[in-house]
Every structure is written in C-alpha cells, then in structure tokens.
Amino acid sequence: MPPTPTARLRVVAATPISEDLIARVIELEPRIDFIRDQTLLPPMRHPGDHSGDPAFTRTPEQQEAFEKLVDSAEVLYGLPDDKPSELARTVAANPGLRWVQTMPAGGGAQVKAANLDDDALNRIAFSTTAGVHAVPLAEWSVFGLLAGAKTLPKLLDRQRNKVWENRWTMGLISEQRILIVGLGSIGKETAKKLTALGATVIGTSRHETSLDNVAEIIHPDRMLQHLADIDGIVVTLPGTAETENLLGPDFFAAVKPGTTLVNVGRGTVIDETALLDALNDGRIGFAALDVVAQEPLDEGSPLWTHPHVLISPHTAALNQAEDRLIAELFARNATLWLEAEAKSAEANGTNADNPGATLINRVNTVEFY
C-alpha cells in the first residue's frame, strides 16, 4: 500500500552537517523537520569530510540512540557513518525510509555496495550530489592538461637538479584537440573552460547530439577512430560495470604519442596496467590522476613514482563551498519531492508513492550512477 503523502518531511542527519547548514536547509524548505543529535555525529576534519574523524566512537548506548534516530527517518541526509553496510542495516530496520541523499557525486557506487534487494531499491529513492563538484573538477582537469602541455615533469626535474639548459618547446592548449570522455555536468563545465582557452573540444555521449562548447560529439563506441588526432583526454565517467576498464590496451594503442590524460571520474574506468605500458613507451606523455582503481593507492604501485604521473588523493573536488552547495541541492530536492506529493494527492493518489521520480540526480539502480 503506498504511503500517505505528508505535508512535511522527517529528515535525519546520518552524516556530519553543521547547525548553520541545517538552518540554511530549513530556510530554503521550511517544511523539513531536520532531526539530529550532534553528539552522535563525528566531527568533520575538513570540508566534505562526510565520514568524519575516524577516531570518533560511540558508547553502546549512543550507538543504540543513533540507530534509533536513523531508523525513524523518512529521509536520510547521508549514509549512516558513510558506510554501505550501515545503509543496508538501516534499510532493513526502517520500512518507512523513502529517500536517501548520498554525499558523493558517485553515490550510486555506495548504493550498489549495500547489496539491497529489489524491493528496497523500488521502495527507496537515492540521489547524489552530481554537479556540486563540476567547477572544481573542471578546474583541476584544465590544470592537468596545462601541466602536460607545459611539460611539468621536465620542469620539476630540471629545477630539482638545478639544471638550466637549452630551452624547449611547450604545447599550446589553444592549438589542441581535447577529448572529454563523458559529457555530464563535469564534462560540460570542463568543455566550457577549455573553449575559453581556445581549445577544440570533442566529447563522447550516448544521448547528446549537440552541446555548447563541444565541436563534435561521438558515440563512445567510436572513440578509437578519433584518438590519433587528440592531444589531451579528460575522463569524467562514473564507475559502473559498463565503464570498467573502458580505457584499456586497445584505447592506449590508438592514442597519439605524448597525449596527456586526466582522470576526475572513477579510477576503475582506466586499466592501470595498460596505462603504465602507455606511460612507459611514451604514448601517454603525462597523466594527472585524482582517482585510481583501488583507493588509497597501494604503496607498491608504480604510479606513485612514475616521473610522468601526478597523483592527487581524490581531493580535487574539495573546496570550502562544497558542504553548503550539497545542503542547498538537498533543499531543492526536498521541495521537488513535497511538490510532487502534493500534486499526487490532488490527483487522488496517482503516483503518490513515487515523488522520487522528480529528484535531481536520482540514482539509476540498474547501472548505479
């Protein structure tokens, strides 16, 4: 039986959020009852620290109180303790749970890792923060491309060794053709910034046929045919079964020698063995990686010490505005949810159990992105 539409939403904070941001959410959507107990939430060490300080612990009594709170939620703000296993426990214990706002842009991976059954996936809507991170990740992508074009590894090596030698040529982004693998919010913002620098942007999409700032859109199945003319590649794709190792041996065999590669999507999109082979023979001249297949990157990985690789510990998206932007996105989604419920009620309950269909960034629970 579908739940009865309500005029308010009972939201429980399952992940750290400040009182100032809770007040901001309620200011934007006053019909939210935002339930929290700050003594039960770990302190944040920095912006975007949704799991909080790992040194934080709860007494058995506090853990019981925390679980009682999240198990009473109609809506969860974040996964409990930012853990898929705790999401699974809460879903099993809380038949009234209807919507979960995940904190990462790739929150679908957390939902997949919870191994929820079909009934739970049909009952509960999940949304991500996709788009919140578009600007910082686009900036980092441009930074990575510039680092490759301006021979950052060679510059650092010469400076480290105090060598002042003959000058050499550098690349011009304004003369380059850049392939963006994935034209979601990050890809579109990256295309905008690259176009402002004079680059020619090519993008991949299964659905789009034309976009501002993108000179040509190709189907992902046709990427290999275009790589010989590409100077730089930016990967923004989520990690799904369909994208796993999408950039593999055939891909790297087709690139132009000296190509710059930037990854701000998910590390699983790139076959790292194939990438290392391409770095070692010069087909990839420089790789800027904010993500890797297994995080944290193993100490024994040759990516750490490769002279033509820049590693960022999945931190390129973090900025002072992130938590506020997530909170404001959540408030917009809450308004959409409540408006959909109201319309359904006016239509005698039609689709009253599916206000999640209107959510921004709703997770596809088949591909989990």
- Following DSSP, what letter does each residue of 211-253 receive, concatenated? -TT-SEEE-GGGGGGGGGG-SEEEE-----TTTTT-B-HHHHH
Of all helices (H) and strands (E), which one includes residue 109? helix 108-113
**Is 314 noted as a catalytic residue in this protein?**
yes
Check if 9-131+319-358 and 134-311 are the same fold.
yes
Nearest Cα residue to 296 out of 273, 313, 316: 313
Stretch 155-160: mean pLDDT: 95
Each domain of the chain, given as residue ranges in start order, spans 9-131+319-358, 134-311
Query: Model confidence over 84-121: pLDDT tens digits?
Result: 999 999 999 999 999 999 999 889 999 999 999 999 99
Query: 134-311, what's its fold?
Result: Rossmann fold (3.40.50)
Nearest to 368 by CA among 126, 182, 80: 126
Of 266, 306, 324, 362, which residue is the catalytic one? 266
**Nearest to 222, CA basis, from 212, 230, 232, 211:** 230
Question: What pLDDT, in 10s, does the model give residues 44-56?
Answer: 999 999 999 999 9
Q: Which is catalytic among the residues 24, 98, 308, 314? A: 314
pTM above 0.85, yes or no: yes
pLDDT above 50: residue 351: no
* pLDDT number for residue 343: 87
CA distance 48 to 219: 34
In the structure, what pLDDT confidence band is assigned to residue 353 with cuts at 50, 70 and 90? Answer: low
Whether 219 is catalytic: no
Instruction: For residues 285-305, give the mean pLDDT.
Output: 97
50-77 tens-digit pLDDT: 999 999 999 999 999 999 999 999 999 9
Say if CB 180 and CB 128 are below 8 A apart: no
pLDDT number for residue 187: 97
Is residue 15 within 8 A of residue 41, CB to CB? The reply is yes
Q: 259: buried, middle or exposed (CB in 10 Å: 19+, 13-18, 0-12)? A: buried
Share above pLDDT 90 across residues of the chain, in percent, rounded to a whole number? 89
pLDDT of 4 > 90? The answer is no
Q: Look at residue 1 and tell me whether its pLDDT is greater than 70.
A: no
What average pLDDT does the segment 289-300 reach? 97
**pLDDT recorded at residue 347:** 76
Give 77's strand partners.
13, 101
Per-residue model confidence (pLDDT) at position 20: 97
Fold of the 9-131+319-358 domain: Rossmann fold (3.40.50)
**What's the confidence (pLDDT) of residue 354?**
76
User: Stretch 248-277: mean pLDDT, rounded?
Assistant: 98
